[in-house]
Structure 1
Amino acid sequence: MAPRANWKGFLRLSLVTCPVALYPATSESEKVSFNQINKKTGHRIKYAKVDAETGEEVANDDIVKGYKVDTDTYIEVTKDELDDIALESTHTIEIDEFVPKSDIDSRYLIRPYYLVPDGKVGHDAFAVIRETARSLNKVAIGRVVLTNREHVIALEPLGKGLMGTLLRYPYEVRDEKDYFDDIQDVKVTKDMLDLAKHIVEKKSASFEPDNFEDHYEGALVDLINKKRAGVQLPAKAAPKTSGNVINLMDALKRSLANEGESAPAAKAKESSKAAKKPKKRIEGQREMLLPISGKKAKEGAKEGTKEEAKETRKPARASARSRKAS
């Protein structure tokens, strides 16, 4: 099922306007998520909104926003008052300017969205805006209101659509000088730099997101499936700690030697693994983690695991008897 649009309205460049819809470009719904439960009963934890002083539960209709100005003193702000100060960008993304993409500091990037025409009309106006930005290699800067806040959004061509990236305001970006000023000015020698460059060259590759594997997500899926099947989990060995590097030059030389020796072997090993075992699929793990309800179902799952284990061991015993007979 296609995701719901986060926002619908109009995209406007001067007098050129078209209806558009904004969709999230990323999703975390496939990640393993947890609920908090009562350890004693196994029941899910519920949170109630209560008055901090009386301890009584408060209905949603009686809850309003408040800005704290002093201890226990708040300025109440209603939804109608917030709606009254909402700008035109509530319903329209007004393109204010076009800038080179290289001018946008990556620290200002928040999250990406897909902007598409909404409905059957306005595709021609949408295409004009998209192709103009593409031909000039520029990014359009506009404003949009999401969750009652106005955001700056950068729009750039992506295939047949536009990718919109929310941008932070300057007051949200911390000054790097507050963190970098205490870093010592170290002079790196040419020999060290050359060795480091060789290491980087051996590790250089194309950016291929499909090769990224979420090892922690895979471990979570494996852990939950083992617990469902009643498998005893072994204690994890303590991680080995490495000593501090004393001589930087020696460390660079050893690193270069290791990279030179291990790169072909590592590639061969990876190729062998890929041929023997398919890559673990993390996406869609919800199909793997089907809920089990009731005691009988849990026992059935355990019995099924035991039977599979027996079937797996049978060929091994048969081959052992064959070797003994020969």
Structure 2
Amino acid sequence: MAPRANWKGFLRLSLVTCPVALYPATSESEKVSFNQLNRKTGHRIKYAKVDADTGEEVDNEDIVKGYKVDTDTYIEVTKEELENVALESTRTIEIDEFVDRSEIDPRYLIRPYYLVPDGKVGHDAFAVIRETIREMNKVAIGRVVLTNREHIIALDPLDKGLMGTLLRYPYEVRSEKEYFDEIQDVKVTKDMLDLAKHIVNQKAGHFEPDKFEDQYETALIDLINQKRAGKPITAKARPRGENVVDLMDALRKSIGRDATGPIAAPKKTAKKPRKAAVGQKEMLMPITGKKPKEAAAKKSVSKPHRKSA
């Protein structure tokens, strides 16, 4: 099933307008997730919304947002009042300007979305906007309201659609000077730099996301499967960092290790079968009475069953 759109409205460049939908470009639903349990009973922990003074549980319809102005003093704001905040970006992404991609500081990037035409109409206008951005080799900057907040969004052509990346406001980005001022000014010698460059050249490669494996996720899956099978859990030794006494010696040893040691980049002769990306649906052993294929295909079967005491 296709994911639900996070936002629907219009994309506008001057007088050119088309209906569009905004979808999340990333997902974390395949990651292992845990519930909190009562150690004594094995039952799940339930969170209740209670009045801080009376201790009584409050129904959702009786809960409103409040802005704290003083101790125990709040200004209440209703959902209707928030919806009535008149922002054009609530329903329209208006392209305000075009900038060079290199001008966008990576610290301002939040998360990516896919922007596509909504419905059967508007594909022509969408294509005109998309191809104009592509031909000009620019990034379009606009505004959009998501979760009751207005965000800056950068639009970039991606295949037949547009990738929209939410951007932070300047007040959300901390100054690096708060952290970098205490870093000592160190003179790096040419010999050290040459050795370090040699290490970089040995490790040079291409960005191929398919090579990446979430090792922590894999370790979690192994842990759950071992516990489910009733196997004993043994603690693994943690890697220790070593103090570098002679930096030049460490650089030379690094070159030798990377050239012959276990962490050297292997030469590609025959392509090894890549380990399949593991999500919760592949991680657990087949349930008794189910065929393995069926068990892997059904998400409900794939999730670990937590037993209550």
Which bin holds the TM-score, normalised by the shorter protein? 0.7 to 0.9
Say whether the 8 Å CA contact 1:111–1:166 is kept in structure 2. yes
Q: What amino acid is aligned across from residue 254 of structure 2 in structure 1?
A: S
1: distance between equivalents of 2:251 and 2:257?
10
* Superposition deviation, residue 84 in structure 1: 2.0
- Which runs of no fewer than 5 residues in structure 1 stay unpaired? 298-326
Q: What amino acid is aligned across from residue 123 of structure 2 in structure 1?
A: H
2: distance between equivalents of 1:222 and 1:46?
28
User: What is the count of residue pairs matched by the alignment?
Assistant: 288
Say whether the 8 Å CA contact 2:20–2:116 is kept in structure 1. yes
Say whether the 8 Å CA contact 1:218–1:282 is kept in structure 2. no
* Superposition deviation, residue 242 in structure 1: 4.1
2:49 alignment partner in structure 1: 49
Q: Deviations over 1:169-216 (max 9, x none)?
A: 000000111111111111111111111111101111001110000000
2: distance between equivalents of 1:21 and 1:240?
47
In structure 2, the residue corresponding to 1:112 is in which secondary structure? Answer: strand
1:286 alignment partner in structure 2: 281
Say whether the 8 Å CA contact 1:86–1:148 is kept in structure 2. no
In structure 2, the residue corresponding to 1:267 is in which secondary structure? Answer: coil
CA distance 1:68–1:271, change in 2 (3 Å)? farther
1:318 alignment partner in structure 2: none
1:79 alignment partner in structure 2: 79
* Superposition deviation, residue 128 in structure 1: 0.3
* Superposition deviation, residue 222 in structure 1: 1.1
- The equivalences for 1:64-103 within 5 A come to 64-103=64-103
1:104 alignment partner in structure 2: 104
1:32 alignment partner in structure 2: 32
Say whether the 8 Å CA contact 2:133–2:140 is kept in structure 1. yes
Q: Deviations over 1:37-59 (max 9, x none)?
A: 11111111110000001000011
Q: Deviations over 1:10-30 (max 9, x none)?
A: 000011000000000000000
Question: Are 1:216 and 2:211 counterparts?
Answer: no
Pick the structure with greater CA Rg.
Answer: 1
1:300 alignment partner in structure 2: none
- The equivalences for 1:1-326 within 5 A come to 1-237=1-237, 239-262=238-261, 267=266, 275=272, 278-289=273-284
Q: Deviations over 1:224-248 (max 9, x none)?
A: 11111112222333x3534311111
Say whether the 8 Å CA contact 1:32–1:221 is kept in structure 2. yes
Say whether the 8 Å CA contact 2:64–2:78 is kept in structure 1. yes
1: distance between equivalents of 2:52 and 2:286?
37
Q: Deviations over 1:280-305 (max 9, x none)?
A: 4343432443797xxxx7xxxxxxxx
Say whether the 8 Å CA contact 2:257–2:264 is kept in structure 1. no
CA distance 1:290–1:149, change in 2 (3 Å)? farther
Q: What amino acid is aligned across from residue 73 of structure 1 in structure 2?
A: T
Say whether the 8 Å CA contact 2:203–2:265 is kept in structure 1. no
* Superposition deviation, residue 143 in structure 1: 0.4
Whichever structure has more helix as a proportion of its residues is 1
1: distance between equivalents of 2:82 and 2:263?
62
In structure 2, the residue corresponding to 1:150 is in which secondary structure? Answer: strand
- Which runs of no fewer than 5 residues in structure 2 stay unpaired? 289-309
CA distance 1:227–1:279, change in 2 (3 Å)? farther
Q: What amino acid is aligned across from residue 250 of structure 1 in structure 2?
A: D
2: distance between equivalents of 1:112 and 1:104?
14
Say whether the 8 Å CA contact 1:217–1:282 is kept in structure 2. no
Q: TM-score scaled to structure 2, two decimals?
A: 0.88
2: distance between equivalents of 1:162 and 1:175?
31
1: distance between equivalents of 2:82 and 2:264?
62
2: distance between equivalents of 1:291 and 1:88?
52
Structure 1 segments, 4+ long, off by >6 Å, are none
1: distance between equivalents of 2:212 and 2:77?
46
Say whether the 8 Å CA contact 2:94–2:143 is kept in structure 1. yes
* Superposition deviation, residue 91 in structure 1: 0.7
CA distance 1:53–1:193, change in 2 (3 Å)? same
1: distance between equivalents of 2:111 and 2:45?
31
1: distance between equivalents of 2:183 and 2:263?
37
2: distance between equivalents of 1:265 and 1:199?
10
Q: Deviations over 1:37-84 (max 9, x none)?
A: 111111111100000010000111111111111111111111222122
CA distance 1:73–1:265, change in 2 (3 Å)? closer
1: distance between equivalents of 2:170 and 2:182?
23
